[in-house]
Structure 1
Amino acid sequence: LEPAMDYFINADMHPRIGCHHKVLNMFFKNEEVESDHHKCDALETLGCLRCLITQSNICCNIHTPTYFVPFISTIPKQQKGPSCSRLAKFYMALLDSKLTDTLDGWREEATIKLYGHAHLHDLGPGVIMPNSILDRIVECAHFLKIKSTADLAKETRWSGANKHGDEIIALIHQVHPLPMPLTSALLQPRTISSNTNASTSVPHNAKRKMRCSACGEEGHN
């Protein structure tokens, strides 16, 4: 950093300076400049009032800080967006190569449509979709991470996600269709038909009565 700029920025930290205005006067040698306002209007004692160098009653934010309060700007802290997915390394399959060619063809057509053939020839299709964004889309599509425009913006941080998101999602799903959701059929309760009368049914825990082996009567052997 140049010493003059260092003194100007940190004027309050340098004990021999302590004033922003002093740095400007020293750097531009304002105190050595002679005013020529008398040449413009020699008839007036004070000379030309438009060319007369006057001393301002406002110095700097160190000596007159209240004057600079309206000019203080605060930059709001941007909220951090949702983080993108961390993907494992993989080998390009045929579908991944097909999606790469499809997206490459789309961005060429989009560049011609928006900017003409000259921009496509001079700047390339990266003016619509950079190579890094295209590669990221292919990677996320391989793991089925992009299912909507919101997913596209979250995973790629692409500035054109909102404008071209619907077209890109349609191209992705042409190559990598979303899996069909699993449907489960409700099981019907099984009914047990019985030809026996409920009144004649024997309880499970009923004891068997003893019969006589000689006469067949119950109650004795």
Structure 2
Amino acid sequence: MKKSHIKPYVRSTADHGLRAALRDWRDTVAVEQFGRAVVKDFGADIFMPTDTISRIVNCAHAGKLHCLADLKKEISWSNSWLDEHGETIIDKIHAWFPPPMSNKVCPIPSPIPHLAHPPLVPQGNARESCLGAAAVKQ
């Protein structure tokens, strides 16, 4: 799959916050994965390079990362690590860049039994569209 082209932009507070959160998380997980001595010798980049963090922040800023499938498309990183840590990364992204509401319209059950057609209201979010509503509600 071809990666998205991200246009240059001025970094916001959210961009800086996400970058710091990802670096802190990476530093912690790198020690868990490799041990303190290895990380001291080679740096936390051995687990997740700074370029990968930059790509995640850039794609998050552009609204390209809503679910694990998007993350796998946009970054070059070990698939096993993506499977293991991808949802954590998506959660960190959504903490700084909340996903937009989807345009899906679902009927809501009417509390009044005689209404034949209940009103339609938007429901769901971008994460549901990637994972499927059933997977998110489990």
Given that 1:87 and 1:140 are in contact with CA atoms closer than 8 Å, whether structure 2 keeps it comes out as yes
Partner of 1:172: 93
Higher helix proportion (structure 1 or 2): 2
Cα separation, 2, equivalents of 1:183 and 1:166: 23
1:182 CA drift (Å): 4.6
* Higher-Rg member (1/2): 1
The answer to which of 132-141 and 173-182 deviates more is 173-182
Partner of 2:36: 117
1:157 CA drift (Å): 2.0
Partner of 1:65: none
Cα separation, 1, equivalents of 2:69 and 2:4: 13
Choose the corresponding residue for 2:21, options 97, 102, 113. 102
Matched residue type, 2:92: L
Choose the corresponding residue for 2:60, options 122, 126, 141. 141
1:144 CA drift (Å): 1.2
1:86 CA drift (Å): 0.8
Cα separation, 1, equivalents of 2:14 and 2:91: 15
For structure 2, the residue ranges without an aligned partner over 5 or more in a row are: 106-118, 121-138
1:47-196 to 2 correspondences below 5 Å: 82-159=1-78, 160-182=81-103, 185-186=119-120
Partner of 1:201: none
1:84 CA drift (Å): 0.5
1:117 CA drift (Å): 1.5
Three-state SS of the structure 1 residue aligned to 2:26 is helix
Cα separation, 1, equivalents of 2:66 and 2:13: 20
Residues 114-170 of structure 1, C-alpha deviations (whole Å, 9 max, x = no match)? 122212211111011001111000000001101111111110121132221111111
For structure 1, the residue ranges without an aligned partner over 5 or more in a row are: 1-81, 187-221
Cα separation, 2, equivalents of 1:165 and 1:130: 15
The count of aligned residue pairs is 105
Q: Percent identity?
A: 34
Matched residue type, 1:148: C
1:183 CA drift (Å): 6.9
Cα separation, 1, equivalents of 2:11 and 2:102: 26
Three-state SS of the structure 1 residue aligned to 2:73 is helix
Cα separation, 2, equivalents of 1:89 and 1:136: 12
